[in-house]
Structure 1
């Protein structure tokens, strides 16, 4: 039997299905001689950090129960270039590779894998530099239009402006949940406003 592998499939929204990815990956595993140990599916945005299924795959890798992770494409696995590089490095420490159906195999213990990691690191740095440049450019453009940036003297956070209405609603017997829904703020914000008001009243 060939290498032990975990199949990982992800879609971004609940109206999408992992079925096609699973079908393709199962066939890919058979053709490549992989022994599929486990299959994981996940519905999560590409940028979402808390992916429980991906964490389970990492746990299998750490326990040395798999040799490879099979994905249809690298964007299904990595949240960003840096995240991809970070997880590849972690997996490499456990001698686990990520294999995409596109034909890209990342094994950082090989010269080819190390070269790809170097390229990814360069791309990641380029992305960060580009983002920083865009932010600076946007700030400069805003200043040139006379826009004042940051909180100005006299400005108050939304929670401060809503304090009188929150306290009035509390005194009228409204629940925190009702107040939050009525004012368009979170229940935690309501709690914080009430706590600050009570602490201030106690002084």
Structure 2
């Protein structure tokens, strides 16, 4: 009997779309004879937020045994809060009887024999003794992989934040520099004359090889 499989998707803002995630995950389920579609759950919210309407609905349906498996695109769609949050979510899913599949990382597929049953990632990482058999080894490998990928997702979020801050700082510094360098009076007078002739600020900027904003400032000076 095919496993009832849900799709979980997430984007951060309303101007983003889950369509690309949906297409890939639907095709993935279609290719698997052991899976059958059982609904879609899509949140529009930051991955750092723990409270999510659709994720909560997914958990309710899982506890009611409406879902056997949940497929998500990658760990960054699941969480951006790092290892502890990833462990918590994946453990909750397993305890609710729902087996996770991470589409982007085939090793994180808990629908086979090695992935069935409760698993606790935190304990697995803290146990240094070698696993007693191959199945235990496979479980341990998947858990370590999940931890590493969650850490990578957290680092990616921090990197994006750093890039945004750096970009804002660079634009701010550039704006200050431009503001401190006045246009030559000859350019200012020429800009005013062109404006009186009916040219737009954009046209004045193009003619004088200055920005539209500087053209406006020259005419207002």
Aligned match of 2:15: 15
Q: Given that residues 8 and 71 in structure 1 are in contact (C-alpha distance below 8 angstroms), is that contact kept between their aligned partners in structure 2?
A: yes
Question: Segments of 4+ in structure 1 off by > 6 A?
Answer: 122-125
| Corresponding residue for residue 41 of structure 1 | 42
Partner Cα separation in structure 2 for residue 119 and residue 88 of structure 1: 13
Coordinate RMSD, CA, aligned: 2.8
Superposed displacement of residue 13, structure 1: 1.2
Which residue of the partner structure matches residue 86 of structure 1? Answer: 88
What secondary structure sits across from 2:97 in the alignment?
Answer: coil
Cα distance change, pair 90–108 in 1 and its aligned pair in 2 (3 A): farther
> What's the secondary structure of 2:47's corresponding residue?
coil
CA contact (8 A) 2:63 2:97 kept: no
**1: distance between equivalents of 2:149 and 2:103?**
21
What TM-score does the superposition give when structure 2 sets the normalisation length? 0.50
Residues 6 and 37, structure 2, Cα contact 8 Å, conserved in 1 = yes
Cα distance change of structure 1 residues 124 and 3 upon mapping to structure 2, 3 Å threshold: closer
Aligned length: 128
C-alpha spacing 1:14/1:120, structure 2 compared with 1 (3 Å):
same
Structure 1's 108 and 86: CA in aligned 2 closer, same or farther, altered over 3 A? farther
Give the TM-score taking structure 1 as reference length: 0.55
Distance across 2 between alignment mates of 1:67 and 1:49: 22
**Structure 2 partner of 1:105:** 109
